[in-house]
Structure 1
Amino acid sequence: MPETLVFELDREHVELNQLLKLAGLCDSGGAGKAIVASGAVRVDGVVELRRTCKIRAGQMVELDDVRIEVVVAG
């Protein structure tokens, strides 16, 4: 069963590599870029290779056995 994290987005979007860092799944934005480039990240069930893909509220990001549910802050 995957672990689900809820990330509260306080702006219009966050770049995918930054989301991985902010969610605590990697140590830096650079590490996040490497993880995305490796093909390990899925956005809404589809492999995403664009490191700076804009993630908005309502989207689901998956890495290994962790899901990040992106919601509007508030």
Structure 2
Amino acid sequence: MSEFVDEVPIRDESIRLGQFLKLANLIESGAEAKEVIADGLVTVNGETDTRRGRQLRAGDIVEIGGAKARVVQE
């Protein structure tokens, strides 16, 4: 069984984790992003990351609540 990973294009070379969660429609708002990241509910490339300003680049995979999104260069 293969896992579905949504590919989300970004315009720049990198994007902050909090911004990416909103762009990928994984959360509703910046306030929610801050909360779920601080609570350790978000993983980047399989590791929990609590830094909202974490810089993501093409190929990084973000997961929250079983939903996954991969950063791709636009």
Gaps in structure 1 of 5+ consecutive residues = none
**What one-letter code is carried by the residue in structure 2 that aligns with 1:21?**
K
Superposition RMSD on alpha carbons, in Å? 1.3
Gaps in structure 2 of 5+ consecutive residues = none
Q: How big is the shift at 1:2?
A: 4.8
Counterparts in 2 of 1:55-66, with a 5 A limit?
Answer: 55-66=56-67
- What stretches of structure 1 move > 3 A for 4+ residues in a row? none
Q: How big is the shift at 1:70?
A: 0.8
Paired residues in the alignment total: 73
2:14 corresponds to: 13
Between the aligned residues of both structures, percent identity stands at 34
**What one-letter code is carried by the residue in structure 1 that aligns with 2:47?**
V
Please give the TM-score of this superposition, normalised by the length of structure 2. 0.89
Distance 1:61 1:26 in 2: 12
Distance 1:58 1:3 in 2: 15
Is the 8 Å Cα contact of residues 2 and 66 (structure 1) preserved in structure 2?
A: no
Distance 1:2 1:33 in 2: 26
Higher deviation after alignment, 39-48 or 24-33: 24-33
Q: Deviations over 1:1-32 (max 9, x none)?
A: 75421110110111101111111111111211
